[in-house]
């Protein structure tokens, strides 16, 4: 109780299955006494592109634009754009980050990838000497909850679904020092029966009830590629 949760949600339709998963998470975690904040990226019309607009005021090097360098310098002097500062504050305060989205082309939707690109800047989320277990966002947990178009069997025949999680869980979250909980995957909800969908929603509710007792995964290549 008293934990703070940020749900970064990337789906255009509130009545979607992702919308139902979001609603359940907000209700269940609030019931537990958690403070839940939602960044509904499509509703916010979140800008996914990393551009010069992310830096307020003069550039560190006006001769040649380097996004990584400029955002790092801007972060240090408090010169990042307002939308980024707001998202970073939400991340900073959160004990748990839940990412809720439909899988697009074996990855996250562009709007969510853009959130990662723009919000998790150097100096805030990592430093080159402080990454992975030494990353700047230690003591936080993350959970990727997503839906797929393909069935579990389809993913099994084409290589493990865990391969897809390597860039997201290891390459972003673990790199920033965030611990990673087992992903929550709802396979092909639009192709199953209404009953099966209800079962999926119930399973998510049940999992959330004991979420804080879970141990993070061991974020090593073995977990992903064994």
> Measured between alpha carbons, how far is 178 from 151 in angstroms, rounded to an integer?
29
Instruction: Average the pLDDT over 135-155 and give the result.
Output: 94
Overall domain count for the chain: 1
- DSSP three-state, residue 144: strand
> Measured between alpha carbons, how far is 151 from 13 in angstroms, rounded to an integer?
22
Q: Nearest-CA neighbor of 146 among 108, 105, 189, 101?
A: 101
Is this structure's pTM higher than 0.85? yes
CB 46 within 8 A of CB 9: no
The CATH number covering residue 60 comes to 3.40.50.360
Which residues span the domain enclosing 191? 4-225
Residues 14-51: tens digit of each pLDDT: 999 999 999 999 999 999 999 999 999 999 999 999 99
Q: Nearest-CA neighbor of 25 among 177, 150, 165, 146?
A: 146
Crossing angle (nearest 10°) for helices 110-119 and 82-93? 90
CB 102 within 8 A of CB 91: no
> Measured between alpha carbons, how far is 23 from 109 in angstroms, rounded to an integer?
20
């Amino acid at each position: 109780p008293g934990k703070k949760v940020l749900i970064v949600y990337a789906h255009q339709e509130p009545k979607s299955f992702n919308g139902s998963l979001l609603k359940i998470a907000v209700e269940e975690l609030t019931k537990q006494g958690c403070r839940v904040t939602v960044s509904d990226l499509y509703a916010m019309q979140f800008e996914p592109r990393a551009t010069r607009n992310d830096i307020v005021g003069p550039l560190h090097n006006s001769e040649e634009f380097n996004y990584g360098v400029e955002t790092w310098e801007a972060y240090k002097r408090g010169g990042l754009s307002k939308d980024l500062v707001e998202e970073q504050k939400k991340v900073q305060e959160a004990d748990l980050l839940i990412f809720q989205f439909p899988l697009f082309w074996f990855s996250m939707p562009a709007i969510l990838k853009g959130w990662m690109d723009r919000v998790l800047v150097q100096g805030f989320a990592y430093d080159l000497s402080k990454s992975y277990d030494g990353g700047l966002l230690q003591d936080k947990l993350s959970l990727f909850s997503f839906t797929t178009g393909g069935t579990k069997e389809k993913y099994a025949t084409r290589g493990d679904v865990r391969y897809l999680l390597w860039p997201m869980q290891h390459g972003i979250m673990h790199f920033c020092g965030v611990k990673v909980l087992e992903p929550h995957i709802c396979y092909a909800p639009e192709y199953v029966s209404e009953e099966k969908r209800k079962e999926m929603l119930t399973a998510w509710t049940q999992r959330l009830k004991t979420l804080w007792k879970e141990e993070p995964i061991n974020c090593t290549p073995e977990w992903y590629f064994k």
